[in-house]
Amino acid sequence: KNEVEQSPQNLTAQEGEFITINCSYSVGISALHWLQQHPGGGIVSLFMLSSGKKKHGRLIATINIQEKHSSLHITASHPRDSAVYICAVRIIKTAGNKLTFGGGTRVLVKP
Amino acid sequence: GAVVSQHPSRVICKSGTSVKIECRSLDFQATTMFWYRQFPKQSLMLMATSNEGSKATYEQGVEKDKFLINHASLTLSTLTVTSAHPEDSSFYICSARSLGQGALRETQYFGPGTRLLVL
């Protein structure tokens, strides 16, 4: 079993719909990242969380440390949100501040 | 805007040649940079952690003599794929860790990636 699991693996939504992507992890972490990878390959760091909730534009990320779970929400989704969203965690006591990645969620927003 | 750059963005080379990929942090000093490899429709796989002024730390299964990493300054790390073979064809991504200096928040910033095709 992977230490970081994302669901769903694939998601198709109509423009304007509310999207939720989930990330569960099985280890103690010091931080959790949500990343966005566009079809061209470039990766953008959306959020880094260690507790609570963060909001940036139409994106909201939450984390529940006790339940070892984080969600990324996209409100009023748009075709330009189509990308792969990756959850990555920094495991406590991991040397070198390495990140452990989930498998990604491929999101397609149709107009 | 992008704070980590990679060069080249795309490279095609012949089998047996060596290819150097550069990763630069543009707006901050990065004592630690990471090199990842990504195969199509798969997640990122950490290859090595590059620390300025010291030897890189390689992940299990990654040949250090095959993938040479140099982190000579606080803004530049290079990955050289030596004697490249077709199976080395992949998407290589670097990231740099910012400690939250100035306007930058503490996080990892990722480069745009380098697509390598070995013929």
Q: What is the pLDDT of residue A30?
A: 87
Q: What pLDDT shows up at residue A89?
A: 93
* Structure-token pair, residue B105: 């928040």
Q: Does B92 touch chain A (CB under 8 A)?
A: no
Residues of B in contact with A86 (CB under 8 A): 43-44
Partners of A106 in beta bridges? A10, A84
- Between chain A and chain B, the number of residue pairs with CB atoms below 8 A apart is 51
Distance separating alpha carbons of residues A27 and A5, to the nearest angstrom: 11
Across chain B, mean pLDDT equals: 89
pLDDT of residue B41: 82
The pLDDT, as a whole number, for residue B30 is 85
pLDDT in tens, B13-31: 999 999 999 999 998 888 8
What is the percentage of chain B residues whose pLDDT exceeds 90?
63
Chain A CB contacts of B98 under 8 Å are: none
- Residues linked to residue B23 through DSSP beta bridges, in sequence order: B6, B77
Interface of B with A in 26-85 (CB under 8 A): 32, 34, 38, 42-44, 46, 49, 51, 57
The answer, yes or no, to whether residue B52 has pLDDT greater than 90, is no
> Residues of B99-114 as b/e, b for ≥16 C-beta within 10 angstroms?
eeeeeeeebbbbbbbb
- Residue B63, pLDDT > 80, answer yes
**Sites in chain A below the pLDDT cut of 70:** 1, 94-97
- Rounded to an integer, the average pLDDT of B4-13 is 95
Q: Which of A41, A97, A99 sits opposite B113 (nearest CB)?
A: A41
Taking only the tens place, the pLDDT of each residue in B72-118 is 888 999 999 999 999 999 999 999 987 666 655 667 889 999 999 99
Per-residue pLDDT at B40: 85
- Report pLDDT for A95: 63
